[in-house]
Each structure stands twice: as C-alpha cells, then as structure tokens.
A and B are shown apart, each in its own frame.
Chain A
C-alpha cells in the first residue's frame, strides 16, 4: 500500500527532523552561552551539557574496561526491564479491566472502592515500592515479580478509569435495544459494552505501557535487582560529574524502551480497531 508507505516515511522524516532540531538547539545553546559567559539556567560546560556527539559516541564505547560496548549492555538491561514492565502491565491491565467491569455492574462497589482507587495513585511509588519488595520477599516471590507488581501498581489505574468510561459509552438506546432482546448481563457486557470500550481501553493501555516502564525502573532500586535499567540509571547519575554522557545515553535507551512498548500497543490498536473508531491521542 503506497499510502501506508508514504505515511511511515513521513513519520520517519519528522522523527529525524526533531532529532536534528534538538541537536541544533543543544549545541547552539552551548556555543552562545559559552561565548557570552552566561551560566543560567544551565551551565554550558561539557560536564553539565556534554556534546551531543559525545553522548552518541558513548553508546559505542565499552561500558567497562575491555567489556562489550555500552549500547549492548544497556539494551540487554532495557530488555530485562521491559520484561518486568510487560508482566506488570498484564497484571495491572487485567486488574484495571476487572475493576472497570465491577464498577459498571455495581454502583455500590464503585462508590465504595473508587475513592481508594484514586487515593492509591496519590501515594508516591517510591513509598510503595519498598513495601512490595519486603512483602514479596516474605512470601518468596522472585525479585523480578515484585518489580512487576510495582509496575502493575502504576498500570491498573488508567485502565480501570478508562474501561469504566468506555463501558458506559454506549448510547441509552443501545442499552434499550439489548434490553428489548432480553439479553443476559454477559451478552450486554461482551457484545455491546466491551467492544464499545475498546478505543478507550487502548488509550489507557498506551498510558499504562509508558507508566509500567517507569514502575519497573523505579521498582528495581529497592529490590536491589541488578542488570536492569534502574540500577544502571542510579549508578550513572552518581557518576554524573565524571562521565555525564553515560547518564544521557542511558536515559535515551530508557526512553527508547518506553517508545517501543507504546509503539507495540499502538500497532495492536491499529490492527484491532478501525480508523473511524480510534480515539485521537
């Protein structure tokens, strides 16, 4: 399909264009601020703002003396973090969907539980994460699964809220139509409400995909899990003054991991939901 190819090409061009503009802004800032001797808001020196090409080159230097290149080590770390994030995403997504269904079926349960669901998201993840790790350790949960549970904690909320909204989206006449057929509650749910909710659910899944990666990265820290992005990001931020480009490079890879995950969900959305039904995001 020529149209589709052109679309992909256009998307590729705009992504490259953004990178080019970003590099230009970054480097001109350094140039101008250095020339004029300005130091605010950010110092333009190579420690605070390494050259973009230094960040890029850092990807291909060995991570440790005589070790494999940085990019390989970090991609492997990203893969591990993504796996934890994905499992958490599945757990959180399932719980969120279940809560949405429960709330749409029973207003009483919505009134009873919704305040706690909302409150759960005001508790910072860095307070929850150590608790999950300690409790997970008590019942001999594998460490990575504790990390997944932390990711799930960030995932379930958007899915629950949007599922509920989507399940309530059918017009009153559609509900009357189902009633006229003497439909079972299951038929109303699976033949009308869930299909109607899919665009809403996919919007939530995209938010959740990004959130689950953050949850996994943060969760790796109290879990003391090695080999993932969390630990590396912490380490590089401690070494920031010595080797700032490493932190920037690792952040880039963490960002790419999130983009890849969200991209996967978007691809599924495009496969399953017709263009006319997709919510714009």
Chain B
C-alpha cells in the first residue's frame, strides 16, 4: 500500500476541518504497521481512506496495487472495528460466514472455512453460541475470524482492543501476532496505546493532530516471535520510550497545545 501527499478535508465552507495533510506512507506485504497518535490526529481517517470507506480530498493512494475503490470491490482487505459489530441474530459460525455469503462462496465451502477461522482464533467450541453469550474479548476474536474468513491480503484494525481490559488486551495482542504469523496478512493497526503499538508492530507510525500528519516512523527491530518475555526485554522498553518521546515531540511541534 502506498500513499502520496494524501489529504482529507471534512465538511464544506466555514465548517471545514482538515483531518489529514500530506500523508506519505508505504506499507510492504507482510508488514505490521501501527498508526499511533492522540485523538484527532486522523489515524482512523487514514485507515478509512485505505478501506475506501471515505474518499481522499487530495493526493493519491494505492492499495494492493490499485485504487482503494477497486481494492474494496476486489475484497482485498478485512476490517475490525473497536466494537465487534457482530449480528445479534446470527450465531458465531453464521457471523463468520456473513462475508462468505455476500462474496458468493460455494455453500459447501462456507461452514468449513468458518470453522477453520474459528479454530484459528481458538473459538472452535463456540460456533453455536450467540454474540451476547460471549465476553468482549471473545466477540472481538469472532470479528477477527470474520475479517480473515475470505483471506484478504490486508487486515485493517481500528482500535480493536480499545474497549477491553488490560489482561484480555494482552492476550488478544498475543493472539493477533500468532494469527498474523500464520496467515502472512499485512496489518494496519490503529491504536492509542504505546506498549500495544511496540509489541505488535514491525513499524510504528507516529501522527500529530490539527491537521493530522505523520511526524515520525519508528522501525521496531524486536525478534518476530514475541511473547511475555518480550514485554520485559530492555529493547522493548527503549522502543516504548522512543515512541513516547516521538509523540511528545509531535505534541509540542504541532503548536496547537
């Protein structure tokens, strides 16, 4: 995915707000990139631009080698939101099958694929449960299974663990790393948690608000198989501090504070 001097302005006339300005960003296949920044820095907007859920005002954006609109029509990405947005009237299995139905996968293939995905997120035993019978973390795992069910090249995640408690959150991060390792999907991950960004990513993109801009990019050169020990690795702490200072620089540099 590649963005060149991408900009987004919401509203018209006096009510205009500039959400993003001059975004240049490249994400290679298999990358795990986190977008981090204070609220209003346009990180979610950037994610929605990639997903063609909103259109850019200026600049160019290429997703999976094509226009974002075409990439969406080609079902090149799966998306996970902060709320699981599962359909209450479908059980877990049927929720995972939803994109497969819409994308006209053969009837026989859908249940097998859904099962596979549920096994991947370790919810194999919950296929017949309904969303309201699951905890928040489990619901979010179903949402991840659903986003990956049609094997998209790219996974977009918009603060997916923002509503979860710290313990569940760490477990989910481990889960996502495992899934990422097993599927080889590229991930764009929006978060406002510094440890989460460092723990998960191959690269952390630091953004500043008003208007949203990329201030720094920090490569995370931690070993690929990360676990609980990684969280106690001095290198990990160094990177957390580096991201924190980058955020602080961005804060004072934007002049708005």
Contact call A276/B88, Cβ cutoff below 8 A: yes
Chain A CB within 10 Å, residue with most, of B52, B81, B101, B130: B81
Which B residues touch A178, using CB under 8 A? 102
Contact call B72/A192, Cβ cutoff below 8 A: no
A180 within 8 A of B: yes
Which B residues touch A276, using CB under 8 A? 88, 132
Contact call B89/A181, Cβ cutoff below 8 A: no
Indicate whether A179 sits within 8 Å of B81 (C-beta atoms), given known contacts A187-B102, A277-B88.
no
> Which of the four size classes fits the interface of chain A?
20 to 34
Indicate whether A179 sits within 8 Å of B72 (C-beta atoms), given known contacts A187-B102, A195-B89.
yes
- Shortest CB distance A241–B (Å): 56
Interface string of B86-123 (1 = CB under 8 A from A): 01110000000011011100000000000000000000
Which B residues touch A183, using CB under 8 A? 102
B28 within 8 A of A: no
Chain A CB within 10 Å, residue with most, of B48, B52, B72, B87: B87
Interface of A (DSSP majority class): helix
B78 within 8 A of A: yes
Interface string of B64-91 (1 = CB under 8 A from A): 0000000011110111010101011100
Chain B, range 28-77, C-beta contacts under 8 Å to A:
48, 51-53, 72-75, 77
A274 within 8 A of B: yes
Report Cα–Cα, A184/B103, bound state, in Å. 10
Contact call A192/B87, Cβ cutoff below 8 A: yes
> Which of B81, B83, B102 meets A181, CB within 8 Å?
B102
Contact call B83/A274, Cβ cutoff below 8 A: no
Contact call A180/B51, Cβ cutoff below 8 A: yes
Which of the candidate stretches A124-132, A137-145, A147-155, A168-176 sits at the interface with the other chain?
A168-176
- Shortest CB distance B63–A (Å): 12
Indicate whether A176 sits within 8 Å of B81 (C-beta atoms), given known contacts A195-B89, A277-B88.
yes
A191 within 8 A of B: yes
Which B residues touch A20, using CB under 8 A? none
- Shortest CB distance A27–B (Å): 49
Report Cα–Cα, A146/B134, bound state, in Å. 51
> Which of A171, A191, A195 meets B85, CB within 8 Å?
A171
- Shortest CB distance B60–A (Å): 21
Indicate whether A182 sits within 8 Å of B89 (C-beta atoms), given known contacts A173-B83, A176-B81, A187-B102.
no
Interface string of A171-205 (1 = CB under 8 A from B): 10110111111111001000110011010000000
Contact call A195/B87, Cβ cutoff below 8 A: yes
Contact call A179/B53, Cβ cutoff below 8 A: yes
Report Cα–Cα, A187/B53, bound state, in Å. 17
Contact call B85/A182, Cβ cutoff below 8 A: no
Contact call B130/A181, Cβ cutoff below 8 A: no
Contact call A191/B101, Cβ cutoff below 8 A: yes
Contact call B89/A274, Cβ cutoff below 8 A: yes
Report Cα–Cα, A196/B52, bound state, in Å. 25
Which A residues touch B77, using CB under 8 A? 180
- Shortest CB distance A258–B (Å): 29
Q: Which residue of B lies closest to A178 (CB)?
A: B102
Indicate whether A274 sits within 8 Å of B101 (C-beta atoms), given known contacts A171-B83, A176-B79.
no
Interface string of A217-258 (1 = CB under 8 A from B): 000000000000000000000000000000000000000000
Chain B CB within 10 Å, residue with most, of A181, A192, A277: A181
> Which of B72, B74, B85, B130 meets A274, CB within 8 Å?
B130
Contact call B130/A182, Cβ cutoff below 8 A: no
- Shortest CB distance B99–A (Å): 5
Indicate whether A180 sits within 8 Å of B79 (C-beta atoms), given known contacts A191-B102, A274-B130.
yes
- Shortest CB distance B157–A (Å): 12
> Which of A176, A196, A273, A274 meets B53, CB within 8 Å?
A176
Q: Which residue of B lies closest to A277 (CB)?
A: B88
Indicate whether A180 sits within 8 Å of B102 (C-beta atoms), given known contacts A274-B88, A276-B88, A277-B88.
no
Report Cα–Cα, A191/B52, bound state, in Å. 21
- Shortest CB distance B75–A (Å): 6
Q: Which residue of B lies closest to A188 (CB)?
A: B102
Report Cα–Cα, A173/B78, bound state, in Å. 13
Which A residues touch B99, using CB under 8 A? 181
Which B residues touch A184, using CB under 8 A? 102
Query: Can you list 9 contacts pairing A with B, beta carbon distance less than 8 Å?
Result: A176-B51, A180-B79, A181-B99, A184-B102, A187-B102, A192-B87, A274-B130, A276-B132, A277-B88
* B residues at A contact (CB < 8 Å): 48, 51-53, 72-75, 77-79, 81, 83, 85, 87-89, 98-99, 101-103, 130, 132
